[in-house]
Amino acid sequence: MKNYIIFIFASIFIFCTSCRTEEKQNLDVNVSGNVAKQNSVSISDVKILITRGKSITYFPAIYKAFDSLTTDKNGNYSYIVKDDGYEYKVCCGVPQGYSSVSPNCKDVNKSIVNSHTVPNIINFTVTK
């Protein structure tokens, strides 16, 4: 009887460990964009700030600086927002010699379509 019980437990263990586990779905979000003047001329070396926050029931998220990067020589930037339970915003700094940027910040859209997150293209326009 004792051997029979050991056999049952060993069989269950082997069956469970051989079961294929589902891979965790990758819900990271690819965010990219461009910073340009109103005449569509791109601007390099502009600071892009990534902020993140967490909503609490009945209260909006409080965002804090999380990461930063700068636009490349063509005014482009790219960033991967991890699927970590936070809400993210992408903000553009006002380059020296300019007075404003539009939009100042934009929420990262974490929508899922066909089991994949939607890429976010967030462009900014600076004005003098």
* Domain 25-127: CATH superfamily, name plus number: Immunoglobulins (2.60.40.10)
CB-based burial label for 32 (10 Å; 0-12, 13-18, 19+): middle
CA quadruple 8, 10, 15, 17: dihedral sign: positive
CB-based burial label for 71 (10 Å; 0-12, 13-18, 19+): buried
Mean predicted confidence (pLDDT) in 85-99: 94
Computed over every residue of the chain, the mean pLDDT equals 85
Amino acid making up residue 20: R
Integer Cα distance of 79 and 30 in angstroms: 6
4-28: per-residue pLDDT in tens?
555 455 555 555 555 554 555 678 9
Share of the chain above pLDDT 70, in %: 80
- Name the H helices within the chain: 2-18
37-63: per-residue pLDDT in tens?
999 999 999 999 999 999 888 888 899
